[in-house]
Amino acid sequence: MTKILISIIWFLVFTKLLIFWVWLWQLKEYHARRFKAHLETQKIRKFLFSFSGIRFPKLTQKVTLILIIGIFIEFFFLLFIYNLTNYLFYIFLLASIILAPIAISILILLFQIPVNILIKRMLEKAKKKREQFKDLIVIGIAGSYGKTAVKEFLATILFEKYNLLKTERNINAEIGIAKTILNKLKKEHQVFIAEIGAYEIGKIKQVCGIIKPKIGILTGINEQHLSTFGSLENIKKAKNEILECSETKIDHNSLDLFATDIVVEKEFVSFKVDGKDFKVNLLGKHNINNILLAASCAKKLGMSLEEISKACLKIKPEQGGMKFLKKNGLTILDASYSANPNGVIADLDYLQNYSGYKVIIMPCLIELGKESKQIHKRIGVKIAEVCDLAIITTKDYFKKIKGDNENIFLIENPKDIIAKVREFSNQETVILLEGRVPHLIWD
């Protein structure tokens, strides 16, 4: 009876580990370098010695099949060792728990072999379909940050004149771009806007070989994903592939549009471009550069500044990566879609537009490689300058952020985070949410 009970407990524990490691691999898009960088965080190391909490992967066909195969392997492993002596039985169970991360990762990587073959075929099909659209204007957007914002701004502007297709908000890998072409590209589309992400040199060039961009837009470059690229020079080389593969090149160094008379209000920014008034419902001055990139592209496609200005009125705050919310008397600036060093600093700059008690809630940033300590130290200095309270939800570089600031706290539990905010907040509290923060309910 004891053996059966322990077997059941082992099965549940191993299944939980299976679910977690599949979630983590999926989160890192099955990219070995990104996975390795994530393993280096203290949060993951802590999990290796704790069974509290569980994360569920998105149940795609691939994930479902991996989980089913994994559970079958668990079952047959138990059957294989069950009749061994108690000593050997318990040794095998203990060893399997210790080696679970390695065993599960091997299973996932082996599963990637047929998956990669299928992906290669899909990319070839997408390339052939793209070649059938001779008059299609393809715009590729790459960079360390700002890609999604520029794509959303540009799509809103060009929609006034063109029938267009764009990749969805969270899609920028080659497989997602290929699926968009295969499943959504139609004869009536005049423009296709593709956001292109990359974690290694050559990836953007590979995608460009499929989509054949006429216009390439390079947004900002910083240390984001430095741990996967190895150096800032490699990041620059990889991101610049979008310009090398395009007929028309647009980046901050080649812009022919400039903003003057800039005014930043809480709920919008206004400025002039060649004497033409622009007003955009975006939160923060940093959005202007991305608007100029989008406007420059639209101008090259024949739109006038008058048309571009009118179209910009339809841009929504969330397209810039930040939403403005009022909840239970609190002002919440939700920038939790993603986080990068420049974005965090820019959002803190914007936070200064508010009076009252200022709070930031954020995790430490990941995949910044050897620059991590200096970047988090810089963020900490900015937090001390702007915020009355800061809550950091992961402890990887917490000490670098905190420095000597007594108003910066490490809190991982969502309920404890809410309690701390309530303890310090008042009627004019403004909360900035950065990165993937824990799910918070402001009751």
Summarised one tens digit per residue, pLDDT across range 255-274 is: 989 999 999 988 899 999 99
Q: Compute the distance between CA of residue 259 and CA of residue 273 in angstroms, rounded to an integer.
A: 5
- For the chain, the average pLDDT equals 89
Q: What is the pLDDT of residue 263?
A: 94
Q: Domains, the chain, ranges and CATH?
A: 2-116 (no CATH), 133-319 (3.40.1190.10), 322-434 (3.90.190.20)
pLDDT reading at 323 higher than 70: yes
CA distances from 380 to 359, 390, 395, 404 (A): 13, 9, 13, 10
**If pLDDT is split at 50, 70 and 90, which confidence band does 51 have?**
very low
Q: Which three-class secondary structure state does DSSP give residue 329?
A: coil
pLDDT, average across residues 328-348: 86
* Torsion sign across C-alpha atoms 120, 122, 127, 128: positive
**Residues 392 and 321 sit within 8 Å (Cβ to Cβ):** no
Q: What percent of the chain has pLDDT over 90?
A: 63
Q: What is the pLDDT of residue 40?
A: 62
**If pLDDT is split at 50, 70 and 90, which confidence band does 438 have?**
low
pLDDT, average across residues 273-301: 94
**Residues 214 and 152 sit within 8 Å (Cβ to Cβ):** no
**Cβ contacts of residue 384 below 8 Å, gap of 6+?**
403, 405, 408
**If pLDDT is split at 50, 70 and 90, which confidence band does 167 have?**
very high
Q: Compute the distance between CA of residue 305 and CA of residue 285 in angstroms, rounded to an integer.
A: 20
Q: What is the pLDDT of residue 441?
A: 52
pLDDT in tens, 81-136: 988 988 899 999 999 999 999 999 999 999 889 988 999 999 999 999 999 999 99
pLDDT reading at 370 higher than 90: no
pLDDT reading at 49 higher than 50: no
pLDDT reading at 250 higher than 80: yes
Q: Which three-class secondary structure state does DSSP give residue 250?
A: strand
Q: Compute the distance between CA of residue 381 and CA of residue 392 in angstroms, rounded to an integer.
A: 14
**Residues 293 and 300 sit within 8 Å (Cβ to Cβ):** no
Q: What is the pLDDT of residue 50?
A: 46
Q: What is the pLDDT of residue 218?
A: 96
pLDDT reading at 27 higher than 50: yes
Of residues 396 and 157, which shows the higher confidence score? 157
pLDDT, average across residues 45-61: 65
Q: Compute the distance between CA of residue 273 and CA of residue 270 in angstroms, rounded to an integer.
A: 10
Q: What is the pLDDT of residue 45?
A: 53
Which of 2-6, 36-40, 430-434 comes out lowest in average pLDDT?
A: 36-40
**If pLDDT is split at 50, 70 and 90, which confidence band does 41 have?**
low
Give the residue from 362, 340, 341, 361 showing the smallest Cα distance to 148. Answer: 340
Q: Compute the distance between CA of residue 378 and CA of residue 255 in angstroms, rounded to an integer.
A: 29
Q: What is the pLDDT of residue 440?
A: 59
Q: What percent of the chain has pLDDT over 70?
A: 94
pLDDT in tens, 100-115: 999 999 999 998 899 8
pLDDT in tens, 179-231: 999 999 999 999 999 999 988 899 999 999 999 999 999 998 888 877 778 88
Q: At what angle do helices 287-300 and 305-312 cross, to 10 degrees?
A: 140
Q: What is the pLDDT of residue 395?
A: 84
Q: What is the pLDDT of residue 224?
A: 81
